[in-house]
Amino acid sequence: MKKQKNRDFSALASSLAAIVCGLLVGLIVLFIADSGKAMQGFGAIVTGGIVNRKNFGQVLYYATPIIMTGLSVGFANKTGLFNIGGPGQYLAGAFAAVYVGVKWTFLPAGLHWIVALLAAALAGALWGLVPGLMKAYSNVNEVITCIMMNYIGLNMVNLLVRQLLFDQARNQSRQPAATAVLPKMGFDKFFVAGATPSSVNIGILLAMLMGVVMYIVVNKTKFGYELKACGYNRDAAKYAGVDEKRSIVLSMVIAGALAGIGGALYYLSGAGTGIPLTDELAAEGFNGIPVALLGMSHPIGIVFSGIFISYLKVGGQSMQAFGFAPQIIDIITSVIIYFAAFALFFKLVIGRMRRRKEENGVIKAKGGEE
Amino acid sequence: MSEYVIEMCDIVKEFPGIIANDHITLQLKKGEIHALLGENGAGKSTLMSVLFGMYQPEHGVIKKDGQEVKIKDPNDANRLGIGMVHQHFKLVHNFTVLENIILGVETVKGGLLKMDDARKRVVELSEQYGLSVDPDAIIEDITVGMQQRVEILKMLYRENEILIFDEPTAVLTPQEIEELMKIMKNLAKEGKSILFITHKLNEIKAAADRCTVLRKGKYIGTIDVAPASKEEMSEMMVGRKVSLQVEKSDAACGEKVLEVEGLSVHSKVGGKHLVKDVTFNVRRGEIVCVAGIDGNGQTELVQAITGLMKIDAGKVVLKGEDITNAHIRKRNTSGLGHIPEDRHKHGLVLDYPLAYNMVLQRYFEPQFCNHGFLKFDEIYRYSDALIEKFDVRSGQGSDTIVRSMSGGNQQKAIVAREIDRNPDLLIAVQPTRGLDVGAIEYIHKQLVKERDEGRGILLVSLELDEVMNLSDRILVMYEGEIVAELDPKTVTVQELGLYMAGSGKKEA
């Protein structure tokens, strides 16, 4: 098991290296935009997420959905699938949750939000099921089917929101009933600045819990062993008697459910946000991909990378106080994500350095490793 | 001038956890064929990579014609006249022979290729060394043997004096091997010096003048080939006496463990019969060998029996139970063991550690799995035990990522895994392909031992020696059909060869 830990370490180190490189490029961009205020702006980005408790609460709040979509992408990745269907699954989940939240008011208070979450998981799972079936039984590339499912999801949700849950005044879906809003867990008392509380709620805890559960499932269980075997070598998995078709379908279904829950956690926060009528795919869905990349598809890594990306977002809001265009933070995030893709390269380099060190150690203490 | 055209003196090359070359000396005379003999993992390829500039040695010097030289990369090697035919050819498949040969050393005039000069030289060289290669053929259209000659021509075109052949016969048919030996002798006669990496003793006897033996990274010795016997050489290579003949008693057959009736498999495209109406059985305590030239339906037959491929007609019965349409897992757990033909495609998850691969067919059993959770302590303990018992060598034991292991040890791991499951029927497809003498002997012994313990063995092999030595019954497959059932005690290799070529087909 020692080996596993070493591999995890080099993954972490390379992600950190990517972040440092990305931030440096970000600084350069700030200098180009306005060299006089660049350092102040940069300071705002770096400290924005922790200047007060409310901001840190917002970091956790924005992190929740992208951790979930990140886990979704990471999970599918273990089976060798690229789940680019995050936006569709996320939106399907969001709609199911809001629908239950608005309509099923007959449910008792403690149960309502839980049922809404389950409905979201189910809807997301359905959106993952279709590409999974297509991949397993007709070998259709999941990227193509996922993208199609994204647009089907977007337009269908637009239609359903307009017909069933429309709030004309705000051009978005109606607000879920108070019983369907996620419990605050006292966070609204703690994560405050002055009188304004942050929107953070139990969602972040659920997302972290999901990360831990996924870690256990992938690394400790028979199911995870089979999924990874399918991901690495489908033929060998088949030879070993693993039902590889079932593994592929299940992997997409679970990935879809995770993204669906992400949608629910965002729209059940009680922050006043409704599902907008829009022609754009949900950014939180796509952001799962960079989050998973930066987290090296490792569940715990994904939790941290989700918080980090969200931290940048909140920092970016602070940065606007110095007159920088909000788009700059998008540039910085993109650059970091670019470097996250390079993280694979860093991983190789760091892995090689470690191995070289180990080599000396092994020769000296041959046979000492257990 | 020194007697030796190339000398590698006291070379040391280390890798993490292993010393691949431990003070090795190799001296190549001008105009000789010098074999480099050793088992898989003995350090042959590493030594050649050092000579070819792909690795830098930690210690030792390389001399060319008595002068010390530094070889930092393959370009340096090329400048010194060292050329190499790799095991996997480095050719552009949709280029012609000529284009491949001149690639990288094109003669140009004003930016335009001067193909005519190049063609003239290639044709000359081809004639001079008796290679008979058509310069205008496209690589993907010509045989593997021809492709190898193109590689040889590439070296000659670059006027290399020292030619390295890395296991050149692994991919060739027997006739092509014979041709290659002739070509190598021709080259030596014309003054080229040849280094020939192999672990096949027959070929060394047939072609080489001298032979340097390595074992586990160490230099064992250099001998003249002519007076040495094959047994002596294999003993040098393996470090102990090796019997090249398989010792086994007569088969004591028991009940039928596998019955195949009228089995047919169609091709997905075109609906051609890949396996046609095949009927046979395997009893406990016998080794039944399916012989045939590659591509005559053996692969499909095995995949149909093991469940990797759908059966179109017929019946497969294992221990009296019909498994024609059973799930693969069901077959595996009801007493079927399978050493697959392609160890990388089917046999192993290369990116999993060795321990995970050792339980690939058993991870779901209560011994290794409790309420859906894997018992890693148990898995590692079991894997360590198998590694010990079957002498599977790797850098970090159970933690080694299988991709980094040598082919022979990967195969040993599969054999260990399948045999240790105590299957009633063991299907072994080319279990010794690409292995060295020591490993082949070992696997043959294991198969005979399994037979003697009352298991039925279905062996698919392309090697005539293996078929003749191991089997108790021989089934010959030709174009998807079983055309003959032969007794290895009475049939000759020549007869067997005729059946395999389809000309011995009995008139029914």
The residue type of A114 is I
- Cβ–Cβ contact A355 with B under 8 A: yes
Residue B365 — left, alpha, or beta (φ > 0 → left; ψ -120 to 50 → alpha)? beta
DSSP secondary structure letters along A112-173: HHHHHHHHHHHHHHHHHHHHHHHHHHH---HHHHHHHHHHHHHHHHHHHHHHHSEETTTTEE
Contact partners, residue B469, CB within 8 Å, separation at least 6: B245, B246, B444
Q: For A240, which residue in chain B has the nearest alpha carbon?
A: B361
Beta-carbon count within 10 A of A144 CB: 13
Q: B18 or B33, which is more confident?
A: B33
Distance to chain B for A156, nearest Cα, Å: 38
Q: Does CATH number 3.40.50.300 belong to domain B4-238?
A: yes
Beta-carbon count within 10 A of A252 CB: 32
> Is B332 in Cβ contact with A236 (below 8 Å)?
no
Per CATH, B4-238 and B256-335+423-500 having the same topology is answered yes
Nearest to B363 among A225, A233, A356 (CB): A225
| Domains of chain A (ranges, CATH numbers) | 55-357 (1.10.3470)
The residue type of A352 is R
Distance to chain B for A297, nearest Cα, Å: 16
As a dihedral over the C-alpha atoms of residue B125, residue B128, residue B131, residue B134, rounded to 10 degrees, the angle is 50
Q: B42 or B103, which is more confident?
A: B103
Count, residues in chain A: 370
pLDDT of residue A212: 96
- A344-358, B68-82, B129-143: least confidently modelled range: A344-358
pLDDT of residue B109: 81
Residue A176 in tokens: 């879920």
pLDDT of residue A363: 42
Quick: pLDDT tens for B241-278. 766 677 777 777 888 999 999 999 988 766 778 899 99
Quick: pLDDT tens for B187-211. 999 899 999 988 778 888 888 999 9
Quick: pLDDT tens for A309-366. 899 889 888 888 888 887 777 777 777 777 766 666 666 677 677 666 655 544 444 3
- Cβ–Cβ contact A238 with B under 8 A: yes
What number of H helices and E strands is found in chain B? 16, 24
Nearest to B347 among A236, A242, A355 (CB): A236
CA A13, CA A25: separation in Å to the nearest integer?
19
Mean pLDDT in residue range B318-342: 91
Around A310, how many Cα atoms within 13 Å sit in the side-chain half-sphere?
Answer: 26
Residue B101 in tokens: 């040969």
Domain boundaries, chain B: 4-238, 256-335+423-500
pLDDT of residue A118: 97
- B13-17, B30-34, B473-477, B500-504: least confidently modelled range: B500-504
- Cβ–Cβ contact A246 with B under 8 A: no
> Is A241 in Cβ contact with B345 (below 8 Å)?
no
A243: chain B residues, CB-CB within 8 Å = 327, 329
pLDDT of residue A322: 87
Contact partners, residue A226, CB within 8 Å, separation at least 6: A237, A242, A247
CA B420, CA B367: separation in Å to the nearest integer?
14
Q: What angle do CA B27, B409, B203 make, to 5 degrees?
A: 45
Nearest to A221 among B17, B340, B374 (CB): B374
Tell the CATH topology of B256-335+423-500.
Rossmann fold (3.40.50)
What number of H helices and E strands is found in chain A? 14, 4
Quick: pLDDT tens for B150-187. 999 999 998 899 999 988 876 676 677 888 899 999 99
A232: chain B residues, CB-CB within 8 Å = 349-352
Q: For B373, which residue in chain A has the nearest alpha carbon?
A: A221
> Is B373 in Cβ contact with A220 (below 8 Å)?
yes
Quick: pLDDT tens for B339-391. 998 888 899 999 999 999 999 999 999 999 999 999 999 999 999 999 998 88
N-terminal to C-terminal alpha carbon distance within chain A? 9
Chain A to chain B, count of Cβ pairs less than 8 Å apart? 83
Residue by residue, pLDDT tens for chain A (370 residues) are 444 556 667 677 777 877 888 888 888 888 888 888 888 888 988 898 888 889 999 999 999 999 999 999 999 998 889 999 999 999 999 999 999 999 999 999 889 999 999 999 999 999 999 999 999 999 899 999 999 999 999 999 999 999 999 988 888 999 999 899 998 888 888 888 877 888 889 999 999 999 999 999 999 999 999 999 999 999 999 999 999 999 999 999 999 999 999 999 999 988 888 898 888 898 889 989 889 988 888 999 999 999 998 998 898 888 888 888 877 777 777 777 777 666 666 666 776 776 666 555 444 443 333 3
> Is A2 in Cβ contact with B350 (below 8 Å)?
no
Specify the 3-state DSSP secondary structure of B213.
Answer: strand
Tell the burial category of B31 from Cβ atoms under 10 Å away from its Cβ (0-12, 13-18, 19+): middle
Tell the burial category of B119 from Cβ atoms under 10 Å away from its Cβ (0-12, 13-18, 19+): middle
Q: B140 or A204, which is more confident?
A: A204
